Amino acid sequence: MTNKIKIALVFGTRPEAIKMCPLVKRLKQNPLFHVLTVVTAQHRQILDSVLELFDIKPDYDLNLMKPNQNLWDLSSDILLKTKEVFEKEDPDLILVHGDTTTAGLSALSAFYARKKIGHVEAGLRTFDKNYPFPEEINRVIVDSVSDLMFCPTELAVNNLKNSNIKQGIYKTGNTVIDALLYVIENKKINLDYLGLDKNLKTILLTSHRRENFGKPLENICNAVKELIEKNKDIQVIYPVHPNPNVRNTVYPILDNIERVKLVEPLDYVPFCNLMKEAHIILTDSGGVQEEAPALGKPVLVLREETERPEAVEYGGVKLAGTNKENIISMVQTLLDNNEEYQKMSKAVNPYGDGRASEYIENIILDYFNLK
Ligand code: UD1
Ligand code: UDP
């Protein structure tokens, strides 16, 4: 028992959980590893629903979420609380995911504890510190303290190589495809309870990014309102993120509008099934930009820049930005022009083959000379 490699996986938000749970499950099956799951619970309800789906009971639940939390308090809480866990458990390797405050501060904490660090979903960059805010800087922090960097694509690999990182860079694909394929293959469900009209084309909308708070999100909502007025054959469903900064803008504009359904965040299984049924997806989400191309769904990204340009290059994703007229015109083109729609819905998925967790496991085994 004592010579097992102790690996702590730290995560805290919905998307990190979706992308880390397949890896937790994979590593737990290997008797050479002692796996610890540490959740900061930067998110609460929408984190718990993912843990439940993958049947993962955290070894440590730091329970940090506060209503309408700010970056300073959350950051210092993560730094101090993970310190206690790292000192008590003394892991051989600490894995963090992506670019959230949980990722950035847990990695910094692990660095202060002089631990080996692995970054899952490494190498994403816009090279603009304000887009996305604060995630771009979290990415830079995590990659600069990491020993192992698991990159989803070649582009991410090159971003790291070009920033002068010399070793520890691997291309593995994104574990989001592991999660998505698991759900799509094993968890088909009926979505009648959502009350969508089967005769209408469904547009699925999600938006939650900090840099879209205020005017940009208002523009997005007003664009949806005008599209609904103009097109009697469409309906919009928007699972609204629990962040009050999102809800306080969205509800006053879109609540009680005919053919617009504002719903609570959906559990991952219904959400994947809904992506499959949607005609068009409008989103500023990182994860959805990766999942939708794997399902052959056209995505218009409601952001000025993306750190995930691969699917844009392949044609399944386009940047629509947050200008109202621009969003309306790009959606209208997809509704009216079948050739354009077909071009975008060609299912090309640049983000992996669903075996990223297995590749990561093998790299860790190699790193500790366990092969
Ligand atoms: C965070 C991440 C963002 C990621 C997003 C995924 C940072 C800075 N931001 O943004 O990168 O894209 O998660 O969703 O790390 N809330 C609840 N219940 C929940 C979750 C959130 O009520 O289960 C509310 C709380 O009031 C909370 C607020 O949302 O304070 C904001 O949560 P926070 O994690 O700070 O920001 P997100 O916008 O969720
Ligand atoms: N998602 C979900 N329910 C929803 C909205 C999104 O399960 O109501 C999933 C989605 O499939 C993706 C992840 O949550 O895997 C994305 O999370 P989010 O958009 O909050 O964060 P981001 O990816 O932008 O960091």
Q: Atom 11 (ligand 2): residue with closest C-alpha?
A: 288
User: Confidence class of residue 3 from pLDDT cuts 50, 70 and 90?
Assistant: confident
- Per the prediction, the chain carries an average pLDDT of 97
Residue 2 reports pLDDT greater than 70: no
Which atom of ligand 1 sits closest to the CA of residue 46?
A: 23
How large a percentage of the chain has pLDDT more than 70?
Answer: 99
Report the helix count and the strand count for the chain, using DSSP H and E.
15, 13
Protein residues with CB under 6 Å of any ligand 2 atom? 14-15, 18, 176, 206, 208, 239, 265-266, 268, 271, 285-288, 291
Ligand 1 atom 30 nearest Cα: 68
Give me the pLDDT at residue 1, please: 47
Tens of pLDDT, residue by residue over 279-310, are 999 999 999 999 999 999 999 999 999 999 99
pLDDT of residue 301: 98
Task: List pocket residues of ligand 1, CB cut-off 6 Å.
Answer: 13-15, 42-47, 65-69, 100-101, 134-135, 208, 242-244
**Which of 20, 42, 71 gets mutated to test ligand 1 (max ligand atoms within 8 A of its CB)?**
42
**Can you give the pLDDT at residue 68?**
96
pLDDT tens digits for 80-106? 999 999 999 999 999 999 999 999 999
Residue 79: pLDDT above 50? yes
C-alpha–C-alpha distance, residues 13 and 42, integer Å: 6
Note the ligand closest to the C-alpha atom of 102: 1
pLDDT at 164 over 90: no
Considering every ligand atom shown, identify the ligand nearest to the alpha carbon of residue 266 and give its number: 2
Nearest to 118 by CA among 137, 79, 91: 91
Please name which of 223, 173, 185, 213 lies closest in space to residue 353, comparing C-alpha atoms. Answer: 173
Which 8-state DSSP code applies to residue 31?
A: T
Q: Which domains does the chain have, with CATH numbers?
A: 5-174+353-367 (3.40.50.2000), 192-345 (3.40.50.2000)
Residue 52's DSSP bridge partners are: none
Check residue 218 and give its pLDDT.
Answer: 98
pLDDT in tens, 249-271: 999 999 999 999 999 999 999 99
Dihedral sign, Cα of residue 133, residue 264, residue 21, residue 295: negative
Mean pLDDT of the 128-139 span: 96
Q: Would you tell me how many other CB atoms lie within 10 Å of the CB of residue 109?
A: 24
Q: In this predicted structure, what is the pLDDT of residue 346?
A: 83
Using CA atoms, how far apart are residues 254 and 226, in angstroms rounded to an integer?
11
Helix axes 215-230, 324-336, angle to 10 degrees: 40
